[in-house]
Amino acid sequence: MKVLAVTGYKPFELGIFKQDDRALVYIKKAIETRLRSFIDEGLEWILISGQLGTELWAAETAYDLREEYPELKVAVITPFYGQEEKWKEPNKEMYEAVLAQADYEESLTHRPYESPLQFRQKNAFFIEKSDALLLLYDPEMEGSPKYMLQQAEKRRETDGYPIYSITMDDLRAAVEEEDFFT
């Protein structure tokens, strides 16, 4: 696998409202564990759309891993121009910091937001251009990642597209592991 699309819950879907929430330590640890195993299997690119939450946390985690794996690259391909315009200032700053370190940045539609179709186009593009999908998602806790998952499941039916998830059980394991060593 060379290109991994990453998505998942937005912060509010997990009840995370501050960038220093303790839960982020465990979420990023779970993402890091998955990314390390994919890097060992040849992962070169992480593909995100720059949405708040899982996608930006995955990019931050990838940037931290670059010290050890300098060949790891991050592409941020937004569904439309200016997706961050209505975000609160701390979120904009985090987004800008992620963009500043990205190896590739582009907007899929080259227009501002027009309709939900732009999100569907983004999902289709990500699944078409990636070799696998990693999502922070638990089927028992539906949320925005379900749309990307549905697109990935359609592709999996035709060519066996790999779908990996980080579930709430994985996060509990990350908490237990982290607490064990501290």
Residue 51 CB: number of other CB atoms within 10 A?
23
Per-residue model confidence (pLDDT) at position 114:
96
Output the CA angle 66-136-175, nearest 5 degrees.
Answer: 80
What is the strand order of the sheet 73-78 is part of?
104-107, 73-78, 45-48, 3-8, 132-136, 163-166
- Determine how β-strand 163-166 pairs with β-strand 132-136: parallel
Q: Which domain holds residue 22?
A: 1-179
Give the pair of three-digit tokens for residue 85: 């315009």
Number of domains making up the chain: 1
Q: DSSP code of 26?
A: H
From 78, 148, 86, select the one nearest 110 (Cα to Cα). Answer: 78
Per-residue model confidence (pLDDT) at position 176:
81
Per-residue model confidence (pLDDT) at position 49:
98
Per-residue model confidence (pLDDT) at position 181:
58
Residue 45 CB: number of other CB atoms within 10 A?
20
Per-residue model confidence (pLDDT) at position 182:
56
CATH code (residue 160) = 3.40.50.450
DSSP state letters, 113-147:
---THHHHHHHHHHHHH-SEEEEE--TTS--THHH
Run means of pLDDT, 10 residues per run, the chain, 182 residues: 97 92 93 96 98 98 97 98 95 97 96 95 97 95 93 97 93 76 57
Find residue 78's DSSP bridge partners: 107
Q: What is the pTM of this model?
A: 0.95
